[in-house]
Amino acid sequence: MAAFKQHLMFSCALGAGYSLALRYLGVEPTHAALAGALCGASGMLPDLDSASGRPVRELFGLTAAVVPLLLLHRLQRAGLTPEGMILTMAAVYLTIRFGAAWIFRHLTVHRGMFHSLPAAFIASEVAFLAHDRSEPGGRLVLGGGVFLGFLSHLVLDELSSVDASGLTVRLNRSAGSALKLFSRSVPATIVVWLALGALTYGVAMEQGYARSPRLPLPGLHAWHLVNRP
Ligand SMILES: [Zn+2]
CB 116 within 8 Å of CB 188: no
pLDDT of 166: 39
- pLDDT tens, 4-30? 788 889 999 999 999 999 999 988 898
Question: Taking the model in full, what pTM does it have?
Answer: 0.78
DSSP H helices, the chain, are 4-24, 29-42, 54-77, 82-94, 101-107, 117-130, 138-160, 186-206, 218-226
CA of 1 to the centre of ligand 1 (A): 6
**Distance from chain centroid for Cα 187:** 20
55/207 Cα distance (integer angstroms): 36
CA of 48 to the centre of ligand 1 (A): 9
CA of 114 to the centre of ligand 1 (A): 9
CB 61 within 8 Å of CB 98: no
Residue partners of 100: CB distance under 8 A and separation at least 6: 60, 63, 64
CA of 158 to the centre of ligand 1 (A): 9
CA of 111 to the centre of ligand 1 (A): 6
Using alpha carbons, select from 146, 134, 148 the residue that is nearest to residue 206.
134
- pLDDT tens, 164-173? 443 344 454 5
Under DSSP, the state recorded for 176 is: T
CA of 154 to the centre of ligand 1 (A): 6
CB 11 within 8 Å of CB 152: yes
pLDDT of 94: 94
CA of 8 to the centre of ligand 1 (A): 11
pLDDT of 220: 43
The low-confidence residues of the chain, meaning pLDDT below 70, are 1-2, 52-53, 133-136, 161-176, 209-229
